[in-house]
Chain A
Amino acid sequence: MRRSERLIEWALAASAYASIFVLAGIFILLLWQGAQAFKEISIFEFVTSARWDPTSPEKAGYGIISMVFSTFLVSLGAMIITIPLGVGVAAYLSEFADYRVRELLKPAIEVLASVPSVVVGFLGVAVIGPWIARTFNIPNGLNALNGSILLSVMCLPTVVSLSEDAFRAVPQEYRQGSLALGANSWETLIGVTLPGAAPGILAAVMLSLGRAIGETMTVLMACGNAPAFPTDFLAAVRTMTATIAIELGEVPQGTTHFYALFAVGFALFILSFAVNLVADYVLHRYQGRRR
């Protein structure tokens, strides 16, 4: 009896510790595979060159700068749309909407999060792209702007839901104090509630930024995939995720090009890891202070 209890506890502990192994495994495998790319390409070229052209007949180029920049451009565009919109929705739901409206709207917006990314990407190809092309009078609407619009839709539920939590976590006494001093509800929101919720909102934004950086299918389908340095939001761009998704299926295993894609994956992993870590830090510091 005693022994089987021990065995069970041991098995449960093993499944819990598995998470650490998976995370470490991802890190090590990507590093190991990616490192083999640097037998033939210089790390310096990889991190400073903007020319990614592994199949060039003259000289293959393995620089990731243009795709890193594209990733940030598309994510930045998404944040520019999502932050004012999402925080606005969250503020409305938590401060002004009455109970029934909130109970209806909150799950409705969370429905957005369950739409698969490939469906969002498809709408980018079939609906938003043609619309952008007509609006800006360009031959085709598959570009950074398209990706940003779609990513903003996907990031919206995260920002709304977490920012609403942040608004809610601001003690009621703060609002009452502000109202008692003669401020109206809007001034209370701007002067008291919003600053109080700011760290939580920041964490929400960082989390959704992490998602945007790592999102694959939507940007792959909607951004046009031109492997060049982007000049503006109407340029076709190719992000790190899209590059991996497009090229990994086509290259033979064990080639420098194959390993280089793992190096890109490693860079992507580190990037999103860093963003998530910051989100985590902000969230915990802020919760710690509150207690």
Chain B
Amino acid sequence: MKRFWSLIGRSYLVLCTLAAFVALVFILGIITSRGWGVMSWEFLTAMPRKGMTEGGIYPAIAGTAFVSMLTLIFSLPLGVGAAIYLNEYAEDSKGTRLIRLAIRNLSGVPSVVYGLFGVVLFVTLMKLGTNLLSAGLTMGLLTLPWIITASEEALRSVPRAYRDGALALGATRWQAIRTAVLPPAMPGILTGAILGLSRAAGETAPILFTGAAFYLPYVPKSPTDQFMALPYHLYILATQHQSIEKVRPLAYGTALTLVGLVFILNLGAFLIRYRMRRKLEKAR
């Protein structure tokens, strides 16, 4: 009897694991197999034509790249600065505990709430308009907690001796951080930045009202332009287009492009982390 239940139990666990794995293969398989058909160089580099029923998704790719870049420009300096302060300067005080609590809670704030915040702060109060700038700022705030957490982890993995060595040579605190702590932490920070980039590329809700456009047959030229974005484009093709069934193949193509983009970024982050770990192991 004991054996019987053990067998049932363990089979259940294996089944769970298999189910999760099958779900993953199913998702990636469907997107790849159905998206592959429309995938071509032209699809990636052409403008949409005939009310988005033909042509490519170039402006959406460019828009996603621009808005993700802006996101990083806003969130990376602030995030890395915060991480340096928390890891190198701050003591365990009420203030720092409050900061950490805020960071944890920020990462749980729903993305659509960031969208609402962005509309009021950047579009209405600061009068920036609905454009790349507002969307990038909104998404910058959204990615801030991820960047801080990743950078802090990178800084924490730098051995104490590096700091002590620099300080012993007469460096000031900031000099020690700049010359001895930041360089070895850089790959980790970069990993966090790439992961932030990949998440920003896939977010839709925060750009919905802060600057993403339904259809623009050109690539934005300045931060004050509206833009198309891959996730928003997919949303339009999947639910808002007047002939939904007709554009279904294009939607699969867009989905595959988006997933591919996110995966390439994740793979890059993974490789950097992998090489960094090996390097650290060698150094020890």
Which residues of A does B touch, CB under 8 Å? 1, 4-5, 8-9, 11-20, 22-23, 25-26, 29-30, 33, 84-86, 88-89, 91-93, 95-97, 105, 107-109, 111-112, 114-123, 125-127, 153, 156, 160, 184-187, 189-190, 207, 210-211, 213-217, 221, 241, 244-245, 248-249, 253, 261-262, 265, 268-269, 272-273, 275-277, 280
Count residues of chain B with CB under 8 A from any CB of chain A: 87
Are B116's CB and A25's CB within 8 A?
A: no
Interface stretch, picked from B65-73, B98-106, B276-284, is B98-106
Q: How far is A211 from B28 in the complex, measured between Cα atoms in Å?
A: 22
Chain B residues lying within 8 Å of A123, measured Cβ to Cβ, are 27, 30-31
Is there contact, CB below 8 Å, between B6 and A186?
Answer: yes
Nearest opposing residue in chain B for A277, CB measure: B105
In the complex, what residues of B have CB within 8 A of residue A92's CB? 13-14, 16-17
Whose C-beta in chain A lies nearest to the C-beta of B130? Answer: A249
Give every chain B residue within 8 A of A17 (Cβ-Cβ). Answer: 95, 99
Considering only CB atoms, which chain B residue lies closest to A24 in the complex? Answer: B102
- The reply to whether B204 and A88 contact each other, CB–CB distance below 8 Å, is no
Residues of chain A with a CB closer than 8 A to B43's CB: none
Asked if B31 contacts A112 (CB within 8 A), the reply is no
CB < 8 Å: which of A96, A186, A248 contacts B5?
A186
B40 at the interface (CB under 8 A from A): no
Given A19-B103, A186-B6: A114 in contact with B111 (beta carbons within 8 A): no
Contact of B16 with A84 in the complex, beta carbons under 8 Å? yes
Tell whether B86 is near chain A: CB-to-CB under 8 Å: yes
A153-B30 contact in complex given A23-B102, A126-B248, A244-B116, C-beta closer than 8 Å: no
- Residues of chain A within 8 A (CB-CB) of B36 are none
B112 and A241 form a contact (CB under 8 A): yes
Does the CB pair A122–B255 fall under 8 Å? yes
Residue of A14, A93, A221 touching B17 (CB-CB under 8 A): A93
Query: Distance in Å from the Cβ of A236 to the closest Cβ of chain B?
Result: 13
> How far is it, in angstroms, between the C-alpha of A262 and the C-alpha of B252 when the chains are bound?
34
Chain B, residue nearest A11 (CB): B81
User: B109 touching A115 by the CB < 8 A rule?
Assistant: no
Do B174 and A8 touch across chains, with their CB atoms under 8 A apart? yes
Give A6's nearest chain B residue, CB to CB. Answer: B174
Nearest B-chain residue to A271, judged by Cβ: B110
Of B19, B108, B124, B199, the contact of A272 (CB 8 Å cutoff): B108
**In-complex Cβ contact of A116 among B9, B95, B145, B202 (8 A):** B202
Decide yes or no: A265 and B113 within 8 Å by CB, A19-B144, A117-B204 being known contacts. yes
Residue of B with least CB distance to A207: B108
Alpha-carbon separation in the docked complex, A111 to B267 (Å): 10
Contact A109 B21 (CB under 8 A): yes
Closest beta carbon of chain A to B269's beta carbon, Å: 10
Could you tell me if A216 and B85 are in contact, using CB atoms closer than 8 angstroms? Answer: no
Q: Which residue of B lies closest to A13 (CB)?
A: B85
Q: A122 vs B173: C-alpha distance in the bound complex, in angstroms? A: 51
- Name which residue of chain B comes closest to A85, CB basis: B16
Partner of B110, one of A127, A153, A268: A268
Q: Knowing A119-B255, A221-B239, say if A29 contacts B121 (CB, 8 Å).
A: yes
| Residues B218-236 near A (CB distance < 8 A) | 231-232, 234-235
The answer to whether A30 and B116 touch (CB under 8 A), given A119-B202, A122-B251, A126-B251, is: yes
Most buried by A among B10, B15, B105: B105
The interface residues of chain A lying within 8 Å CB-to-CB of B110 are 213-216, 241, 268-269, 272
Interchain nearest-CB distance for A280 vs B (Å):
6
Q: Would you call A115 and B108 a contact (CB within 8 A)?
A: no
Residue on A with the closest CB to B232?
Answer: A118
* Inter-chain contact B209/A248, CB cutoff 8 Å: yes
Contact B262 A216 (CB under 8 A): no
- Once the chains bind, are A15 and B174 in contact (CB under 8 Å)? no
How distant is the Cα of A117 from the Cα of B202 in the complex, in angstroms?
7
A88 & B13 in contact (Cβ 8 Å cutoff):
yes
Q: How near does chain B come to A199, taking the closest CB pair, in angstroms? A: 17
Q: Chain B residues with Cβ under 8 A from A108's Cβ?
A: 21, 24
Please tell me if the beta carbons of A187 and B113 are within 8 angstroms of each other in the complex. no
Q: Which residues of A contact B234 (CB under 8 A)?
A: 118-119, 122
Query: Could you say which residues of chain A place their CB within 8 Å of the CB of B135?
Result: none
Additional 8 contacts, C-beta under 8 A, given A19-B145, A126-B251, A221-B238: A22-B141, A119-B259, A156-B23, A186-B6, A269-B110, A272-B110, A275-B108, A280-B105
